[in-house]
Amino acid sequence: MARCWYAYNGVGDPLVLSSYILASRVPACINGFVVCAVYAPSCGINPSVLSVRIRYYIGNLTLTLVAQPDGTTKKYVYGKN
C-alpha cells in the first residue's frame, strides 16, 4: 500500500485520524516536542489508519523530541517546536 505524508493540524488529538490532512510535499520539520507530520498508508485526504507502530512512534517523539523511529534512516513521525 502506498504511503503519503500527512500534516498534523496542531489542535486535535494526535492519535485521531481526522487530526491529519494530506500534505502536498515532504515536511520541512523533523525534530521537536509537537507532532508535525506522519508518513502513513492510504494517500487519501486523511490517513486510513494510524497503526500501533505509528502510535508508538508518536509517543516516543513526545518523550525524546527526535523524529521516529530513532536510529533508522526512514522516519515515520516528525516533530516541531
Q: Residue 42 in contact with residue 7, Cβ under 8 Å?
A: no
Query: What integer pLDDT is reported at residue 1 of this predicted model?
Result: 78
Backbone angles phi, psi at 7, to 5 degrees: -85, 135
Q: Coil, helix or strand for 35?
A: strand
Predicted confidence at residue 81, as pLDDT, reads 94
Per-residue confidence at 13, pLDDT binned at 50, 70, 90?
very high
Dihedral, CA of residue 10, residue 12, residue 14 and residue 18, to nearest 10: -110
Tens of pLDDT, residues 27-74: 999 999 999 999 999 999 999 999 999 999 999 999 999 999 999 899
Whether the CA torsion 5, 50, 59, 57 is positive or negative: it is negative
